[in-house]
Amino acid sequence: MLVETHVHLGDPQFDADREEVLRRAAQRGVGLLVEIADSPRDWDRALALARAHPDSMRCALGLHPYHADEWRPELAARLSAERDPLIVAVGEIGLDYFVKCTVPRDVQKNSFRAMLAAAADAKLPIVVHCRDAYADLIPILREFYARPPAAGFHGVIHCFSGTEADAVACRDLGFALGVDGPVTYPKNDPLRAALKTAGLACLVLETDSPYLPPQSSRGKRNEPAAVAEIGERLAAVFGIPAEELGRATTRNARALFRLDS
C-alpha cells in the first residue's frame, strides 16, 4: 500500500473526473491520500473531501507562500479550534523566492512564522513548501524546532528540491523529504544523489497533482496514480525492489502524519 502525501484534488482540473482519478490511484496501490489546502478559501473544501472519503483521505490546512498576504490572526484561532482527526497537518506553508511569486519576502517570512506558531499550538506536523529559499528556510525551522522529535518527524519538506547539504540539514532537524515527479526526470542526477545521501528513512512519496507530472506524462495533468511511477524510480536509486521502497515510504508517511497513534 502506498501513501500519496501531497495532492490538490480539490483543484478545478479534477472537477470532471475526481472519483475516476481516485479509482485509478487505488488500482496502482494508493491506499491513503493527503489533500493539501493552499489558502483559507480552500480549507472547507479540503475537509469536505476528506470527510467524503474517511477511509482513504486526510487533509492539511495551510497558507501557501503565494497567499502569504492573506494571513490573519483568526486563522490561528480556527486551526486550534478545528479539532478533527481528519486534519493531520498544517500546510502547505513556507517560502517561495522564485520570480513568479510576487509576495514580498518579509511578508512571506512573517506569515510562515505565524503559521509555525499556530501548528505548534495545534500540536500538528507541518507540510513545508520551499522554492529557492533554503538559506532562509532552515534557520527559521531551527527557531521553532530545536531538536528532532524522539520518534517520527516535525513535518515534511514537500517536493524537496535543495542540495545534498540542504537534504542532510532538513533531515537532521527532524524533517521528512517529499519525493515527486522531478525525481524521474533524466537530467535530475543531483536531486537523486541528494535523496540517496539523505537516506530512505526520511523519504515519503507524493505527486503534488495536478502539478509536476513525472517523465511519462510531462506536459499533462498529473494525478495521484503517478506515485507508483515515482516509487519505482526511487527504488532504482536505492537499488531495492519497488515493494520494499513502498513499505519504507508508507511507514515514514504514517509516522509523519501520526496515523498509528
233 binding Zn ion? (CB under 5 A): no
CA angle 85, 123, 227 (to 5 degrees): 60
171 binding Zn ion? (CB under 5 A): no
35 binding Zn ion? (CB under 5 A): no
58 binding Zn ion? (CB under 5 A): no
Among 129, 154, 192, 233, binds Zn ion (CB under 5 A): 129
Q: Which helix (H) or strand (E) holds 94?
A: strand 87-96
3-class SS string, 20-80: HHHHHHHHCCEEEEEEEECCHHHHHHHHHHHHHCCCCEEEEECCCHHHHHHCCHHHHHHHH
192 binding Zn ion? (CB under 5 A): no
Q: Closer CB to Zn ion, residue 156 or residue 202?
A: 156
4 binding Zn ion? (CB under 5 A): no
Q: Can you tell me the distance from the alpha carbon of 126 to that of 71, in angstroms, rounded to the nearest whole number?
A: 17
Among 4, 180, 208, 229, binds Zn ion (CB under 5 A): 208
What is the size of the binding site for Zn ion (CB under 5 A)?
A: 3
Return the bridge partners of 61, or none.
37, 90
Near Zn ion by CB under 5 A, which window of 103-111, 206-214, 230-238, 241-249? 206-214
Q: How far is the CB of 8 from Zn ion (least distance, A)?
A: 6
Q: Can you tell me the distance from the alpha carbon of 204 to that of 222, in angstroms, rounded to the nearest whole number?
A: 18
Q: How far is the CB of 158 from Zn ion (least distance, A)?
A: 6
Chain positions 72 to 101 lying near Zn ion, rule: CB under 5 A, are: 92
Q: Closer CB to Zn ion, residue 161 or residue 235?
A: 161
CA angle 21, 45, 154 (to 5 degrees): 90
Near Zn ion by CB under 5 A, which window of 78-86, 123-131, 166-174, 175-183? 123-131
Q: What residue type is assigned to position 145 of the chain?
A: Y
* Block residue for cell numbers 490572526: 73
Q: Can you tell me the distance from the alpha carbon of 42 to that of 10, in angstroms, rounded to the nearest whole number?
A: 8
Near Zn ion by CB under 5 A, which window of 75-83, 126-134, 177-185, 212-220? 126-134
Q: Closer CB to Zn ion, residue 129 or residue 154?
A: 129
Q: Closer CB to Zn ion, residue 7 or residue 235?
A: 7
CA angle 125, 117, 67 (to 5 degrees): 85
Q: Closer CB to Zn ion, residue 42 or residue 229?
A: 42
Binding site residues, Zn ion, CB under 5 A: 92, 129, 208
